[in-house]
Structure 1
Amino acid sequence: MPLYKTITPCRGTKVLIWKIEEPKGRLMDGIELTANCKLRLGNMKSEIHQRGFLSVRQLLKAAGYKTSDLYYDTNGKPHLKDGKEISITHSFIFSGIIISDTLKVGIDIEKQREKISVIAHKFVDYEYNFLSDADVRPLTVVWCIKESLYKIFATEGMSFKQHAKVIPFKLMDKKTVSWIFYNETVKKYKAVFLEFDGFTCAYAIEL
């Protein structure tokens, strides 16, 4: 299908979300894969991962880019050759990208599942002031925001639990503020979240 959602959080920043309903062959239509992309695709055993990978390339095309315009650094962080900021995510039947002219950005999509309550203690600390392990949907929001922060900061040794904090929110708010406290670094981010079809998406933008 075409784009599922297009969001413009602010001038020069765009979020694109794809619902992956096409077979792998259809997702290859109109995109030219680099040799490295073909190798990565060939090494993926799961068709879900293959379709997620290809849908991201379709999102790049929708944003006006070729597959060859995207590259990854040694830490696995994606970059665009024109210097714009980009972050990428895919989960089951959804994929998404956020692109910004100048702002540091991160995005994550996760399926809402009960098992997040079991692992909450691994990434929640400060947030227990307003959440409990039973709060599946808010916990998924917190995870997505912290994953988005991690993608922006991309620093070895950063801990979701120790170094990322999400300010109290209600699901109806659709946004909050988040922080990274890492050694001597303190950074503030706007975090926006949305829910659709049993999934949560959050994106963070450095303030």
Structure 2
Amino acid sequence: MPLYKSISVNSQTTVKIWKIEESYDALLSPLELRPESLTRVLGMKSELHQRGFLSVRHLLSEFGYTDQDLFYDENGKPHLKDGKHISITHSFTFSGVIVSDNEVGIDIEKQREKISIIAHKFVDYEFEYLNKNSDAYIRKLTVIWGVKESLYKLFATPGMLFKEHFLVIPFMLKDENTVAWIDYEGKKYRYNTAFLEFEGFTCAYVIP
């Protein structure tokens, strides 16, 4: 089973990443899924999405949980029955889960040139320090998207906008961390963020 990476962020927080190499059947057969989870996975049109969904359940077992321990609220945010906080992501051939005593968010993205086409939709302040002619431009955009997606998952509040409410301060790729802010409805929230790159993908996660 390809547990790709395990990161102890701090004493309360752990990230685990899975490289999805197994077939759909190999992923499904060892799992005991709740009826609603089975219905959900069978209803997915893409086998890539199915394998992503199932690999997340294998990551849960790496933390000592099962599909029965996971539930979702009305905003689609995942929760664990024991009260710990969880965030989930999958992209193509990788999936990731972060579990913590505190609110958290995680995102994995494939590094793709086309992110530059939609940059204006999620980048505002960050354009001040981004260099569009730099070799690192796509990689930095992917980090910014991943951090903002992680913040959105953490807050799970309808109406929040990446461009207007989330801000990522300048960072160096080699540092693998930065600080992000949420500015929403007159309140400001500060988050520590970290990111790592592997095999053409970027994983970002945020903790208060």
What TM-score range do you get, normalising by the shorter chain?
Answer: over 0.9
**Deviation of residue 29 (structure 1)?**
3.6
**Deviation of residue 196 (structure 1)?**
0.1
TM-score by length of 1: 0.97
Q: 1:101-122, CA deviations, whole angstroms, 9 ceiling, x for partnerless residues?
A: 2x11000000000000000000
Which portions of structure 1, spanning 4 or more consecutive aligned residues, are displaced by more than 4 angstroms?
A: none
Q: Structure 1 residue 119 and structure 2 residue 127: aligned?
A: no
Matched AA of 1:28: L
Matched AA of 2:120: H
1:133-172 → structure 2 map (5 Å cutoff): 133=132, 135-172=137-174
Q: 1:150-178, CA deviations, whole angstroms, 9 ceiling, x for partnerless residues?
A: 00111111000000000100101100000
**Deviation of residue 138 (structure 1)?**
0.2
1:49 match = 49
User: Given that residues 118 and 133 in structure 1 are in contact (C-alpha distance below 8 angstroms), is that contact kept between their aligned partners in structure 2?
Assistant: no
1:3 match = 3
Give the count of matched residue pairs: 205
CA distance in 1, matches of 2:159, 2:90: 23
2:84 match = 84
Q: Structure 1 residue 32 and structure 2 residue 37: aligned?
A: no
CA distance in 2, matches of 1:157, 1:62: 34
User: Given that residues 85 and 100 in structure 2 are in contact (C-alpha distance below 8 angstroms), is that contact kept between their aligned partners in structure 1?
Assistant: yes
2:95 match = 95
CA distance in 2, matches of 1:191, 1:60: 22
1:73 match = 73
| Structure 1 runs not aligned, ≥5 long | none
Secondary structure of the 1:137 match is helix
User: Given that residues 2 and 21 in structure 2 are in contact (C-alpha distance below 8 angstroms), is that contact kept between their aligned partners in structure 1?
Assistant: no
Which stretch has the larger CA shift, 160-169 or 123-132? 123-132
What is the root-mean-square deviation in Å for CA atoms of aligned residues?
0.9
Secondary structure of the 2:118 match is helix
Q: Structure 1 residue 198 and structure 2 residue 197: aligned?
A: no
Secondary structure of the 2:142 match is helix
CA distance in 1, matches of 2:179, 2:41: 36
Secondary structure of the 1:157 match is coil
Q: 1:73-102, CA deviations, whole angstroms, 9 ceiling, x for partnerless residues?
A: 00000000000000000000000000002x
1:177 match = 179
User: Given that residues 120 and 133 in structure 1 are in contact (C-alpha distance below 8 angstroms), is that contact kept between their aligned partners in structure 2?
Assistant: no
Matched AA of 2:100: S
**Deviation of residue 133 (structure 1)?**
4.4
**Deviation of residue 132 (structure 1)?**
3.9
| Structure 2 runs not aligned, ≥5 long | none
CA distance in 2, matches of 1:205, 1:123: 20
Q: Structure 1 residue 108 and structure 2 residue 110: aligned?
A: no
User: Given that residues 31 and 61 in structure 1 are in contact (C-alpha distance below 8 angstroms), is that contact kept between their aligned partners in structure 2?
Assistant: no
TM-score by length of 2: 0.97
CA distance in 1, matches of 2:29, 2:191: 37
Secondary structure of the 1:50 match is helix
1:186 match = 188
